[in-house]
Amino acid sequence: MKSAVIVFPAANCDRDAKTALTQMTGKEPHMVWHQDSELPDVDLVVLPGGFSYGDYLRCGAMANQSSIMGAIKAHADKGGAVLGICNGFQVLTEAGLLPGALMRNAGLKFLCKPVGLTVEETQSSFTRKYDKGQEIHIPIAHGEGNYYADEETLDRLEGEGRVVFRYTDNPNGSARDIAGILNEKRNVLGLMPHPERVVDDALGGTDGRAIFQSLIEALS
Amino acid sequence: MTKITPALVKEHGLSDAEYKKILGLMGREPSFVELGIFSVMWSEHCSYKSTRFHLKKLPTKAPWVIQGPGENAGVIDIGDGDACIFKMESHNHPSFIEPYQGAATGVGGIMRDVFTMGARPIAMMNALRFGEPSHPKTRHLVNGVVHGIGGYGNCMGVPTVGGEVNFHRSYNGNILVNAMCVGLARQDKIFLSAAKGAGNPVVYIGSKTGRDGIHGATMASAEFDDASEEKRPTVQVGDPFTEKLLLEACLELMATDAIIAIQDMGAAGLTSSSAEMGDKGGSGIELDLDHVPQREANMTAYEMMLSESQERMLAVLKPGREAQAEAIFKKWELDFAVIGITTDTSRLVVKHKGEVVADMPITALSDEAPVYERPYTERAPVTGAPAYDKSKPVLASLKTILASPDMASRRWVWEQYDHTVMADTVQVPGGDAAVVRVHGTNKALAITTDVSPRYCRPDPFEGGKQAVAEAWRNLTAVGALPLAVTDNLNYGNPQKPEIMWEIVAGIDGIGAACRALDFPVIGGNCSLYNETNGEGILPTPAIGAVGLMQDVSKMATVAFKRAGDVVIVIGETRGHLGQSIYLREIEGREEGASPPVDLAVERKNGDFVRGLIEAGRVDTVHDCSDGGLLVAIAEMALPRGIGASVGLAGLPDAIPFWFGEDQARYVIATPFAEAEKIVAEARAAGITVAELGKTGGDLVTLDDKNSIAVAELKAGFEGWFPKFMAGEEIPVTN
């Protein structure tokens, strides 16, 4: 599996994504500068977590204006896999690649802690190595992870099996406990928790590994 | 031209004697800009004029010290060509006036100190002191400071891995915000601030210069009064997004060989960075302020030289490398400008709009800055053991202590800090020390901050010793070899002889402990004048420290892990209740002698425990400190809800045994067979050791008689902070 990580200014988890991808795939991902307008030939594009442009405007809004976004949309249109983690998820909703929006956490505080998730869907390139209904633990680290969409959209997401991860104990007020969703074609995943922080035994968990293992199996 | 009047001199915080010295050094009346430059460079904050004489007594050398005090941060050798660079610094005065920005820019400033030396910051810590919980400002200040630290550190993508939060009425008018940054570099890529050689371009990089923070250093060198709120405009505003770009751009430039010297513009901004770089390089610097990137129109030379706008650096490049450097900074969308040149005159010359506005010998700002041996009045330490009510039930007291402001869980605080970004945090906040892996290796750094201010007022010397010993013990308890210290000395007004005594004795105590424990001081910061309307803070010499673990898989943590482990205390328990948490929280008194530290025993016990961890024989260790033995045991039960049944036959007096704060102790828990061997080995080595009981169940049981549920303890322990911040509980005064 060939992958790329987009480097937005201050999207500070780009190096963590690189480490996890290198460890899991055995190959270093391409690090693609936000001002580039073309992607290298890759199977997976990762939009990492962090604070692109400091989140000074609406989170993800500035990054969505980057030159590279056109190429990412084209990659997704062609069916290429796109994974947006945390700030990356926020960028994907700004870009219209995923529906809904991420608002301030209900408690109005930034929260960093491991959270319980249930894997709702295994029919995707991102989750096929999990068991349906499996409970996993992955850390969150965000101030704006409160997922919102109108009722119609939420019903549709549920009906089409696009709600992939749900919080077991909702930390941020997200509608219907949603932690991660797919697009209609099921090739774009956005999630607030950070799977790249739990691929290494020494860090107290490996529940994030299966996302990368699923992608390797699906895309190689 | 502005006329230099006695009133103007006084407004600049300079004494008559100091101004007389300036006249002598200059051979003429200084210009307004020159007066401003003297004012900040000779301020306590920049010159260390009250403490420099005493700081010289601290041990700063060891074979593993690459750079001691005097640079932006200290550097130690951690093997394999790797270097660890760290420092702690205060941002007390601004954080009281404007907590969010004060704390945020404190974080930003200490990060720049570390990455200006070529290191990538890998961990942040902070030591925070607030006034009593019932004080009307405390909640607002806690909220602002925690938000500020998180807001800046989280955006930078550097994990904030721990620290301290204390409450005491002595901080009602002067909170303390001490931030520590730890970074990693290769030993052959360390950058210093000595601007050696003439004719080299001086370049300005980072944010534009505005009018914010003018005279911040001078503010930080004076006491507060009721009008201090009016000083809000002297607090700087942080921009972590720009700092993140600056970090990446600087590291990219540092990967080339274009830099001769580099220094961040911190306190006293352009003035101190240029003067210090010239001073260390033995050269002169000529600046043309017309080229300084400016945020506001019509800024004067005075404003530009004294601005403390954040996220700026000054560098001296090799001639001809300007274009290469500029390309990097343009890529990161940062300002870059050549604003001067190094000279061989040893003078700082500042031009603005074609005129020379300052022309002064650099040594007048550094070597000639005043050094005071301020008079001090020795005070005998408080002695004696306090009385206590022997009838108080031990387990009820335990519950009260665990839910008290200084002892309750700080989860509410550290969950607002991203402590796992960079994916190398092996031990998260809540343990004895944070542990962060050296990326891509199996070794790790252990990091802690510590001081017990309540010990430091009754006995400043023992308090200083204890702060170092406890930091050393924190690192040892996770299995790390303690390597070096950064000190952040927070005190009151040094012009009062009784305060000066606290400073002198505190430094002596720190020095004694650092010498005995081979724990050199490689950098630090002093924050004096922490007084409001004449009331000073408790002496608070915060110690930040770093240790090294060769094999991170051997790391110990505080949590009980198995039922049936034997609970052992290493070190002697005499039952020292003086100045203890027990006495304060249960008896409502702050009395008696501070606990003395026997440094030889400290070292012997610690080396023994570390040996057990390194050999993989023990994975459960907790240093026994605030609150005493039973509190330590409860803290080991809380994380996983595994209880313990403990007791000691023939105990004459339960309260001092369980709650005394004797030093040099550790609680360990390990399976029976290993425990027997460890006890025998300790005795053979002349180390005091006692078996206290066994882990298991979900209760903490004393002497097979009385019990309390771990869940009940946990509810109080986890409950206090969120309730306090939500305003649900009127907290008791401590």
The ipTM is: 0.96
Are B154 and A110 inside 8 Å of each other by CB?
Answer: yes
Residue B212's pLDDT is 81
| Per-residue pLDDT tens over the stretch B252-303 | 999 999 999 999 998 789 999 999 999 999 999 999 999 999 999 999 999 9
Q: Measured between alpha carbons, how far is A20 from A39 in angstroms, rounded to an integer? A: 20
Put simply, whether B437 touches A (Cβ < 8 Å) is yes
CA-angle at B656, arms to B653 and B661, nearest 5°: 155
Band of pLDDT at residue A53, cut at 50, 70 and 90 = confident
User: Does B103 lie at the interface with A, CB-CB under 8 angstroms?
Assistant: no
**C-alpha R_g of chain B:** 26
Residue A57's pLDDT band, with cuts at 50, 70 and 90, is confident
Q: Long-range contacts: B233-236, Cβ < 8 Å, 24+?
A: B234/B94, B234/B97, B235/B94, B235/B97, B235/B98, B235/B101, B235/B102, B235/B105, B236/B94, B236/B101, B236/B105, B236/B212, B236/B308, B236/B309, B236/B310
Closest-CA distance of chain B to residue A152, Å:
33
Mean pLDDT computed over A198-215 = 94
| Closest CA–CA distance from residue B440 to any residue of chain A (Å) | 9
Q: What is the pLDDT of residues B599-626, one digit of tens each?
A: 999 999 999 999 999 999 999 999 999 9
pTM: predicted TM-score of the whole model, two decimal places: 0.96
Query: B419 is written with which tokens?
Result: 């402590």
Task: Please give the average per-residue pLDDT across B361-381, as a whole number.
Answer: 94
Across the interface, which of A109, A112, A196 has its CB nearest the CB of B418?
A112
Rounded to an integer, what is the distance from CA B616 to the centroid of its chain?
A: 31
Phi/psi of residue B367, nearest 5 degrees: -55, -35
The token duo for B458 is 């009754």
Q: Which pLDDT does position B221 carry in this prediction?
A: 65
What would the pLDDT profile of A104-160 be if each residue is shown by its tens digit? 999 999 999 999 999 999 999 999 999 999 999 999 999 999 999 999 999 999 999
B418 in contact with A at a CB cutoff of 8 Å? yes
Partners of B419 on chain A (C-beta within 8 Å) are 112
In B, minimum Cα distance to A202 occurs at B426
Q: Which pLDDT score, from 0 to 100, does residue B734 have?
A: 42
User: What confidence tens digit (pLDDT) does each residue in B329-366 have?
Assistant: 999 999 999 999 999 999 999 999 999 999 999 999 98
Lowest average pLDDT, out of A50-64, A85-99, B446-460, B662-676, goes to: A50-64
pLDDT at B731 over 70: no
Residues of B in contact with A112 (CB under 8 A): 154, 414-420
Q: How many separate domains does chain A show? A: 1
Residue pair B165/B216 in contact (Cβ under 8 Å)? The answer is: no
Please state, in angstroms and rounded to a whole number, the distance separating the CA atoms of residues B356 and B422.
Answer: 48
Give CA–CA dist A203/A135, Å, rounded: 18
Chain B residues lying within 8 Å of A19, measured CB to CB: 423, 439
Order of strands across the sheet that contains A3-7: A30-33, A3-7, A44-47, A81-85, A188-191, A178-182, A163-167, A111-119, A135-142
Looking at the complex, does the CB of residue B150 fall below 8 Å from at least one CB of chain A?
yes
- Picking from A50, A109, A143, the nearest residue to B157 by CB comes out as A50
What's the pLDDT score for residue A8? 95
Taking one residue from A and the other from B, the number of pairs with CB-CB distance under 8 angstroms is: 84
Residue B217 has pLDDT above 70, yes or no: no
Average pLDDT for A57-82: 94
CA distance A88 to A85: 5
The angle at the Cα of B431, spanning B486 to B477, to the nearest 5 degrees, equals: 70
| Average pLDDT value for residue range B664-668 | 98
What is the per-residue pLDDT for B1? 65
Which residue from B150, B239, B244 is facing A12, i.e. has the nearest CB? Answer: B244
Closest residue to B420, CB basis, from A9, A143, A197: A197
pLDDT at B224 over 80: no
Nearest to A102 by CA among A8, A187, A191: A191
The per-residue pLDDT for B708 is 98
The C-alpha atoms of residue B50 and residue B69 are separated, in whole angstroms, by 17
Name the average pLDDT for chain B: 95
By percentage, how much of chain B surpasses pLDDT 90?
Answer: 91
Residue A12 pLDDT grade (very low, low, confident, very high; cuts 50, 70, 90): very high
pLDDT on residue A204: 82
User: Residues 245 to 284 of B: which have CB under 8 A from any A CB?
Assistant: 245
Q: Which residues of A touch B420 (CB under 8 A)?
A: 112, 139, 141, 194, 197, 203
Q: Which residues of B touch A12 (CB under 8 A)?
A: 155-157, 244, 421
Contacts of B336 (CB under 8 A, 6+ apart): B203, B204, B205, B325, B326, B329, B330
Select the more confidently predicted residue: B217 or B73: B73
CA distance A13 to A19: 10
pLDDT in tens, B107-119: 999 999 999 999 9
The stretch B401-420 carries a mean pLDDT of 98
Query: Would you call A13 and B416 a contact, using CB atoms and an 8 Å cutoff?
Result: no
Using a CB–CB cutoff of 8 Å, tell me whether B417 touches chain A: yes
B8 in A contact zone (CB under 8 Å): no
Asked if B237 has any chain A CB less than 8 Å from its own CB, the reply is no
- B428 to chain A: nearest residue by CA? A203
Tell me the average pLDDT across B377-400. Answer: 96
d(CA B429, CA B410): 9
The C-alpha of A153 sits at a distance from chain B's nearest C-alpha, in angstroms, of 31
Which residues of B are catalytically annotated? 45, 91
From residue B581, how far is each of A42, A150, B586 by CA, in Å? Answer: 60, 53, 8
Question: Which listed residue (A94, A121, A144, A196) is catalytic?
Answer: A196
Neighboring chain B residues of A110 at a CB cutoff of 8 Å: 150-151, 154, 416-418
Q: Which of B420, B424, B426 sits opposite A141 (nearest CB)?
A: B420
Q: Is B420 on the interface with A (CB under 8 A)?
A: yes
pLDDT greater than 50 at residue A83: yes
Mutation pick from B155, B207, B418 vs chain A, by most beta carbons of A within 10 Å, is B418
Distance between CA atoms of residues A140 and A178, nearest Å: 13
Is residue B124 within 8 angstroms of chain A, CB to CB? no
What confidence tier does B219 reach under pLDDT thresholds 50, 70, 90?
Answer: low
pLDDT at B650: 85
Answer yes or no: is pLDDT of B57 > 50: yes
- The answer, yes or no, to whether residue B226 has pLDDT greater than 80, is no
The residue in chain B having the minimum alpha-carbon distance to the alpha carbon of residue A59 is: B155
Residues in A lying within 8 Å of B, measured between beta carbons = 9-10, 12-13, 15-16, 19-20, 49-51, 53-56, 109-113, 139, 141, 143, 194, 196-197, 200, 202-204
Residue of A5, A12, A85 to mutate when probing chain B, most B C-beta within 10 A: A12
What is the structure's pLDDT at B728? 82
A75 is in which domain, residue-wise? 3-219
CATH assignment of the domain containing A64: 3.40.50.880
Amino acid at A36: D
Whether residues A109 and B416 touch (CB distance < 8 A) is answered with yes
Whether pLDDT at B225 is above 90: no
Query: Nearest-CA residue of chain A relative to B439?
Result: A19
String of DSSP letters for B584-642? IIII----SPPPP--HHHHHHHHHHHHHHHHTTS--BEEEE-TT-HHHHHHHHHTTTT-
| Listed residue (B510, B516, B644, B508) closest to B568, CA to CA | B644
Q: In chain A, what residues touch B422 (CB-CB under 8 Å)?
A: 15-16
| Residue B3 confidence (pLDDT) | 86
- Give the whole-number percent of chain B exceeding pLDDT 70: 97
B239 touches chain A (CB under 8 A): yes
pLDDT tens string B669-683 = 999 999 999 999 999
| A86 among known catalytic residues | yes
Q: Which of A80, A100, A73 is nearest to A89 (CA)?
A: A100
**B120 at interface of A, judged by CB pairs closer than 8 A:** no
Nearest to B277 by CA among B194, B360, B335, B338: B194
